[in-house]
Amino acid sequence: GTIVVTSNGAKGRFYADKTISQLLAHDEIPLCRIEDEPAFPYRGFMIDSARHMQTVDELKKYILAAAEFKFNVFHWHLCDDQGYRIESEVFPLLNEISSKRKYELLGGAEILSKLGLNKSGEEYFRYYKKDEIREIVEYANKLCIDIIPEIDLPGHTVAILAAYPELSCLKGKYEVYCENGITKDILCVSQEETYDFIEKLLTEITELFPYKYFHMGGDEAAKGHEIWEKDCSVCQAKMKELGLKNGKELQVYFNNRVNDILKKLGKTSIEWNDGIGENTDADIVGHYWITRGPLWVKNENNKRKFIVSTCPSLYFDYNNAVVPLKKVYKFDAVKSGFINEKNVLGLEF
């Protein structure tokens, strides 16, 4: 028999080969005609290497598996309260201090506590060398997968503050977090030193990642808004100067400034949806994870592009009882409120 493949370029041929390999898994290919194209251009998966870091070989294994199922974007979470995982020559303390925490296993998880594993183990000191990152980027590219790094800002930054406490509002002493969950500790977004740091750091990081998108986080910062509003005179003065009513509006100001930095570096910004406010720049891509009302979804869907990762429907860190495969297969971005399909880049798991 003969197999004829017609594709719109090299990536189309790559995905056709994957379809053929899936059919061959059943020992024979039936006489058939297959016309296949994705519903959305973005088919993403996220791996968190900040809390628990994977080896290069482990990442390659995951990337290869994802390629078999025609995923084309790897969202790589590389910085959080529990660790910073990228080699930095510009800010070496990010490795000496921010990449190290006292315990390998984090506290706060009930099941670990029952097993006697809560907040335990040896010192955890890991980060990726730049050459390792380049190796992963090249490997993924050969499998038609682009990589989007995430540096979470302005919250989820305790690991950074442990090394550079002068970037905080309270100028206190911080330690890399050894618990699950989040803290209220946050960057001071009203001092220029913070933006100088971020610009230098992002300039160093973006050199490693050629893909056009960069994820700047923005999620779960609301706890830190209280520090801006009540404890930081610099932030209070900035809100008064700009006519901002609260910390949420100050976060919008911050993320728009980070967006400007990323645009200068040739990148398109992505931000988790709970950080998005009324005046968030429309060219920032929204990453929808936390459920909002239908009016909010409709308004933002018409204003900006979105990646959809609705929790818990598309969160594979939950067990099968919470997120059964049937629920995943039945998920429909349009039915969940994103009626303006041209502004939906795709889904991410």
Q: What is the pLDDT of residue 304?
A: 98
Distance CA 83, CA 72 (A): 26
Instruction: State which amino acid sits at residue 96.
Output: E
Q: In this predicted structure, what is the pLDDT of residue 60?
A: 98
Catalogue the active-site residues. 80, 156, 220
Query: Taking the mean position of all CA atoms in its chain, how far away is CA 121?
Result: 27
Pairing of strands 124-125, 100-101: antiparallel
DSSP code string of 200-241: HHHHHHHTT--SSEEE---TT-HHHHHIIIII-HHHHHHHHH
Nearest to 86 by CA among 220, 201, 180: 201
* Residue 342 DSSP symbol: G
Rounded-to-integer distance, Cα 243 and Cα 246, Å? 9
Tokens of 111: 């099941």
Q: What is the pLDDT of residue 111?
A: 67
Q: Could you tell me the pTM of the whole model?
A: 0.95
Reading the chain (349 residues) residue by residue, the pLDDT tens digits are 788 999 889 999 999 999 998 888 888 888 889 998 899 999 999 999 999 999 999 999 999 999 999 999 999 999 999 999 999 999 999 999 999 999 999 998 766 677 777 888 999 999 999 999 999 999 999 999 999 999 999 999 999 999 999 999 999 999 999 999 889 999 999 999 999 999 999 999 999 999 999 999 999 999 999 999 999 999 999 999 999 999 999 999 999 999 999 999 999 999 999 999 999 999 999 999 999 999 999 999 999 999 999 999 999 989 999 999 999 999 999 998 999 999 999 999 9
